[in-house]
Amino acid sequence: MELYRKPAMIQETISCEVVVGMQQGLHARPADLLAREARKWRSRIELVAKSQRVDGKSILEVLTLAAEAGTRLVVEATGPDAREAVEAIGGLFERNFNEQTSDG
């Protein structure tokens, strides 16, 4: 009997570096928006800060980063829609999660 092994699908991993721009840091509201956006995608999404890696789809894990203003994070996605997921989440950081800043 011959066994046929189906080749594993290649899972693309895409990442980008973002900077927390909100004066209050990555607090509950933006963490919730981030987790909601991450859950829209099939890919596994993680945030990396120094030696800490968390599930981007979990608001509680995102909050454990305690990311203050100026913190550099890496957004990493692995899966079929990784590129689109990273672009969408990176866009949230670029727009500072649509929060008003004190400098206008």
Strand order through the sheet with 44-49: 13-19, 72-78, 44-49, 52-55
- pLDDT tens column, 17-63: 999 999 999 999 999 999 999 999 999 999 999 889 999 999 999 99
**Residue 7: pLDDT band with limits 50, 70, 90:** low
Domains of the chain, start order: 13-98 (3.30.1340.10)
pTM of the predicted model as reported, rounded to 2 decimal places: 0.85
Active-site residues: which are they?
A: 27
Quick check: 101 pLDDT over 70?
no
